[in-house]
Structure 1
Amino acid sequence: MKTAVRALLSGLALSLLLLPQTVTAQGRETIGWGRLFTNDFLGDNHDRWRTGGYVVSKVIGPHWVGDLPTRMGEILEFRFRSETIAPSNLANPAPNDRRYAGVFSAGIHTHFERNGLEMSLGGDMVVVGPVTGVGWFQTEAHKLFGAPVPDLSNELPNHLYPTLLAEAAQSFQITPALKIRPFLEAQVGVETYARLGFDMLFGAVGQRDLFMRDVTTGHLYRATQTPAKGFSGVFGADIAYVEHSGYLPSYDGYELSDARMRVRAGVHWQGERSSIFYGATWLGKEFEAQTDTQVVGSVRLNIEF
């Protein structure tokens, strides 16, 4: 497994080096914005572990007609992401619980089709630590709303992780309103893992859209808004083997779970000028001392005036 992950990511690194030679400069426009807000307040209402995050993706490329280009680099996604990772008790963390971590990342990814596979390749610079300002922001927000203030005395120190990410998927259009999409994903960097899973989309909304995958939940969030009205449901699950985690460093004695599992479901609604998505994700244990699993909620609201 270790060798396969590194081989896939080595190929990604080489592809990124060659990317400027494959990008077509003309006919490029902003084809969409993807975004997703995630918080456990919207799930099991506990302030713990993978407690919150926000991702924004600006996507540029040729005018979107519902199909990925065959050339790598024609579609580029500029991804910006923040996340709060915390122990289960913010104010009085247990000695064997995970340490607080503020996370911010910025990166570039490209999406294309090759031999029937939907490919995503990219890299991010992931910053962890007090320098992100995430801990300060959560402290001030919790003071404002009278919630427990996080103890930042044991926050993970500042660290920069260059991170490479690759995904290969294949869509099976069972009916015009039902798509099943198995995928394989691998990453090297802030966390090094190999992941296998699938997603299902049933309904008219989103069948011809371009999706990005959220790092924490695995939910596919829309970057385009092709014409369709009504509801669509989504369901997905995956399992990962994690070799290394900068959020759970081995020098602190953390023992990673043998398998990291996620199960998710959600609903898209799209009207004439507005759309909304809500999804819930069950997250399995990430380390052996973790006392429970958790459920987080994700939402995206788009209103045009």
Structure 2
Amino acid sequence: MHLPPLASSVFVVALGALSALPLGGAAAAQERGVLGWGRLLTNDAIGDGKDRWRTGSYVLSYLRGPDWNGSLPATPGQILEFRFRLETIAPADLVTPNPLDRRYVGALSLGLHTHFEAAGLEASVGADAVIVGPQTGISSLHGDLHDLLGLPTPNVFGGQIGDEVFLTVTAEVGRTLTLGPNSTFRPFLEAQAGAETLVRVGGDFTFGQFTTGALMLRDTSTGQRYRGVAGSGSEGLSLIMGGDIAEVYDSEYFLAGDAITPSDTRKRLRAGLHWQGAQSEVFYGLTWLSEEFDQQPDDQIVGSINLRLQF
């Protein structure tokens, strides 16, 4: 695997930060408390309505650390994010798949990430164990749901990506730039190696109070940002828009002997609305995803939702 110099530099920082995690010791661990929970559900049923390709995912993040004051600490390891994620990737036709379509993937990942500030940049680094194949039970659950709903039985599970575990390291650096009283732009650079190896560059605009004083996390498949730790809590609507482009070097979700060719680049465009009430909040976003392999006949749009309702 060969990465460009910029990505290699990011990974040096990531590995250094990860190696520093134990330095806090027992005292630091005792000072940590629960900072918050983050979650995001994504599915093409609430996007373009078609059951195909990056068809669905769910991420749940649990964050611990010292009391949150609205800014990142200077030391990695003080804030820890424990991340659980499920994802299904599927061909366009689950019953009679086209031989020039991608294989089914059921992926479950468990990870540890840390968030901090370095040289004036907002940084996050972490590692996930990405577990794929029938061992996850995702394909079995998918088939049971089809049976329960009276849908045709999928015929793609036998050819799915087999049982594997991929250690995946991810690092992101960004900087939040203030554009006005309630508007920001945050350019970022991300590098990832493992289940999929890529370098991504992009940016996100926020108009409103959605990110003010909050610890924001990024969803893997869509790039949508979701709140892990609440910020100002100001009531009202916020608009979020962003996009990025990735250079892809390798993906374990494609097999070398298959008739399809993975794309070298991927593009994403996203937008979302966040409503914050006195006790509840709702987020809904749409993400356009470009083709991930050369034979993919179309792009796709997936929807993401997050509800925090208190009565």
TM-score calculated relative to the size of structure 2:
0.95
Deviates more, 1:177-186 or 1:17-26: 17-26
Q: Secondary structure at the match of 2:158?
A: coil
Choose from 214, 221, 241 the match for 2:226. 221
Instruction: Indicate the residue corresponding to 2:60 in structure 1.
Output: 56
Instruction: Indicate the residue corresponding to 1:131 in structure 2.
Output: 135
- Does 2:68 align with 1:68? no
Contact 1:100–1:154 (8 Å) recurs in 2: yes
- Does 2:214 align with 1:238? no
Contact 2:99–2:259 (8 Å) recurs in 1: no
- Does 2:83 align with 1:82? no
CA–CA separation in structure 1 for the residues paired with 2:74 and 2:112: 18
CA–CA separation in structure 1 for the residues paired with 2:32 and 2:293: 44
Deviates more, 1:210-219 or 1:242-251: 242-251
CA–CA separation in structure 1 for the residues paired with 2:13 and 2:178: 29
Deviation at 1:186, TM superposition (A): 0.2
Q: Secondary structure at the match of 1:153?
A: helix
Contact 2:20–2:77 (8 Å) recurs in 1: no
AA partner of residue 113 (structure 1): E
Deviation at 1:65, TM superposition (A): 1.7
Instruction: Indicate the residue corresponding to 1:19 in structure 2.
Output: 21
- Does 2:42 align with 1:41? no
Change (3 A) 1:80 1:257: same
Contact 1:91–1:150 (8 Å) recurs in 2: yes
AA partner of residue 9 (structure 1): F
- Does 2:299 align with 1:296? no
Identity score, percent = 46
Q: After TM superposition, list the pairs within 5 Å mapping 1:1-305 onto structure 2.
A: 2-4=3-5, 5-22=7-24, 24-151=28-155, 152-226=157-231, 227-305=233-311
AA partner of residue 284 (structure 2): Y
Q: Secondary structure at the match of 1:234?
A: strand
Q: Secondary structure at the match of 2:50?
A: coil
Deviations 1:9-60 (A, max 9, x none): 2442343123111462243111110000000000000000000000000001
Q: Secondary structure at the match of 1:91?
A: coil
CA–CA separation in structure 1 for the residues paired with 2:235 and 2:146: 38
CA–CA separation in structure 2 for the residues paired with 1:251 and 1:213: 33
Contact 1:196–1:240 (8 Å) recurs in 2: yes
Deviation at 1:7, TM superposition (A): 4.4
CA–CA separation in structure 1 for the residues paired with 2:48 and 2:200: 25
Deviation at 1:210, TM superposition (A): 0.7
Contact 2:269–2:287 (8 Å) recurs in 1: yes
How many residue pairs get aligned? The number is 305
Contact 1:179–1:207 (8 Å) recurs in 2: no
Deviates more, 1:244-253 or 1:189-198: 244-253
AA partner of residue 238 (structure 1): D
CA–CA separation in structure 1 for the residues paired with 2:169 and 2:197: 9
Gaps of 5+ in 2: none
Deviates more, 1:234-243 or 1:134-143: 134-143
AA partner of residue 230 (structure 1): G
TM-score calculated relative to the size of structure 1:
0.96
AA partner of residue 187 (structure 1): Q
Deviates more, 1:268-277 or 1:137-146: 137-146
Contact 2:57–2:88 (8 Å) recurs in 1: yes
AA partner of residue 132 (structure 2): V
Contact 2:172–2:190 (8 Å) recurs in 1: yes
Deviates more, 1:62-71 or 1:279-288: 62-71
Q: Secondary structure at the match of 1:16?
A: helix
